Amino acid sequence: MINLLNFDLSQLTAYFEQIGEKPFRAKQLMRQMHLGACGDFDAMTDIAKSLREKLKTQCEIRPPDIVREHLSADGTRKWLLNVGQGNAIETVFIPEENRGTLCVSTQAGCALDCAFCSTGKQGFNRNLTTAEIIGQLWVANQALGVTPKNERVISNVVLMGMGEPLANFDNTVSALKIMLDDHGYGLSRRRVTVSTSGLIPQMERLSQECPTALAVSLHAPNDDIRNQIMPINQKYPLKDLMNACLKYLQFAPRDFITFEYILLNGVNDQPQHAQELLDLVKSVPCKFNLIPFNPFANSPFRQPERDSVLRFRDILNDFGIVATIRKTRGDDIAAACGQLAGQVKDKTRRTVIVDKLQK
Ligand code: SAH
Ligand code: SF4
């Protein structure tokens, strides 16, 4: 069976052409499938019956199954999704006053092995398909429903869940196209953010094939420290990364890069690190998102004191750089940054989850 969630509009149109259907039918189906969050061909009554019957014989609309859903005290919701062969991924919805952000995963595990990241410590399992990436919006949309004004609740998407989006380039780009398509989720490019650890060639490809807002995980003011906590820096060092950011901005829908910077107690959170950082980014229009480290089991790092976080922010602010401290959301359900799949890794709970996955 062909899973239609794997197709962006041009891929769906090409498939329809193959089966002798007109392009406008592909748009119709896209709308039903994504905007309408409909997975049942029989319920798509505005689509010709003959087409529905044809599709039923060879296609399906199959999002990943929900293994578990958690609701945090602060309203954050997390879904654990089964992607087969004992692999689970997580999707997190963060409601705020004027927006609702969905944090989406792109890989089961991650190969890049950043020292402070729970997903990285889990190792790499596999790339998610387009259906599994966009299926996270599908599942969340269905669960969240619509507002009283009949609007969808997800207004922003960040690819900041498990995995490195740009290491799963083709499937991620197809999923991005569906998010942006008027017949898909209709999100603005400025409200869809790809977060990368800094894969330079793929950043350039993204700027050409599907530019969105970009967040770059910086986390260190110099190559010495970055080499130690992010092995990818040995391949793509900071000077090249800064140039790649500047290049990206020529095509980006926003006029700044968001730099994510985890504060690790005693490692990269001192005033001299902030000073050094100012020098590093001086030619790149940017904002900073400071993320106090979220601890997980067996991690060697500690969260900094609140005072050093504020001091770090003030040094950037005084220089005229907007720097915000990321509020930790959903940490009571292990949904905060870098905590995703912590539970799958945890041996005692793993058995429970794997049992469910194999059912
Ligand atoms: N692979 C991509 C996107 C997923 S990680 C990337 O690295 O950018 C999303 C963000 O969470 C990244 O900025 C990442 O560095 C951060 N993160 C990872 N582990 C964390 C932890 N333990 N505490 C806080 N943030 C963490
Ligand atoms: Fe992978 Fe991002 Fe975690 Fe690094 S921080 S291991 S790139 S998911």
pLDDT tens digits for range 13-53: 999 999 999 999 999 999 999 988 889 999 998 899 999 99
Q: What is the pLDDT of residue 349?
A: 34
Residue 90 known to be catalytic:
yes
Task: Please state the rounded mean pLDDT for residues 47-72.
Answer: 94
**Residue of 38, 59, 90, 210 marked active site:** 90
Q: Which ligand is nearest to the CA of 196?
A: 1
User: In terms of residues, how long is the chain?
Assistant: 359
Ligand 2 center–CA 194 separation, angstroms: 13
Domains in the chain: how many in total?
2
Ligand 2: residue of 117, 236, 260 to mutate (most ligand atoms within 8 A of CB) is 117
The amino acid at 185: Y
Are 50 and 166 part of one and the same domain?
Answer: no
Are 174 and 138 part of one and the same domain?
Answer: yes
| Least confident span in 85-89, 244-248, 284-288, 317-321 | 85-89
pLDDT tens digits for range 280-315: 999 999 999 999 998 888 899 999 999 999 999 999
CATH code of residue 56: 1.10.150.530
Are 119 and 261 part of one and the same domain?
Answer: yes
Burial degree of 91 (CB within 10 A; 0-12, 13-18, 19+): buried
Q: What is the pLDDT of residue 82?
A: 93
Structural domain including 7 reads 2-60
Are 9 and 115 part of one and the same domain?
Answer: no
Q: How confident is the model at residue 357 (pLDDT cuts 50, 70, 90)?
A: very low
Are 190 and 321 part of one and the same domain?
Answer: yes
Q: What is the pLDDT of residue 339?
A: 61
Judge if the beta carbon of residue 211 lies within 6 A of ligand 1.
no
Residue 103 known to be catalytic:
no
Task: Please state the rounded mean pLDDT for residues 327-350.
Answer: 54
CB 229 within 8 A of CB 116: yes
Ligand 2 center–CA 197 separation, angstroms: 7
pLDDT of 7 strictly over 60 = yes
pLDDT tens digits for range 189-236: 999 999 999 999 999 999 999 999 999 999 999 999 999 999 999 999
Task: Please state the rounded mean pLDDT for residues 126-132.
Answer: 97
Are 109 and 139 part of one and the same domain?
Answer: yes
pLDDT of 351 strictly over 60 = no
Q: What is the pLDDT of residue 338?
A: 59
The alpha carbon of residue 37 and the mean position of all alpha carbons in its chain are separated, in whole angstroms, by: 20
Q: How confident is the model at residue 337 (pLDDT cuts 50, 70, 90)?
A: low
Q: What is the pLDDT of residue 296?
A: 84
Are 338 and 197 part of one and the same domain?
Answer: yes
Are 307 and 328 part of one and the same domain?
Answer: yes
Q: Pick from 60, 86, 107: which residue ends a domain?
A: 60
Ligand 2 center–CA 43 separation, angstroms: 40
Comparing 55 with 328, which gets the higher pLDDT? 55
Q: Pick from 60, 75, 105: which residue ends a domain?
A: 60
Q: Pick from 16, 45, 60: which residue ends a domain?
A: 60
Ligand 1 center–CA 306 separation, angstroms: 20
Tokens 């004004």 found at: 149
Are 180 and 247 part of one and the same domain?
Answer: yes
Q: How confident is the model at residue 336 (pLDDT cuts 50, 70, 90)?
A: low
Are 11 and 81 part of one and the same domain?
Answer: no
Are 54 and 191 part of one and the same domain?
Answer: no
Are 289 and 227 part of one and the same domain?
Answer: yes
Q: Which ligand is nearest to the CA of 110?
A: 2
Distance CA 36, CA 84 (A): 26
Q: What is the pLDDT of residue 333?
A: 65
CATH code of residue 133: 3.20.20.70
Q: What pTM was estimated for this model as a whole?
A: 0.93
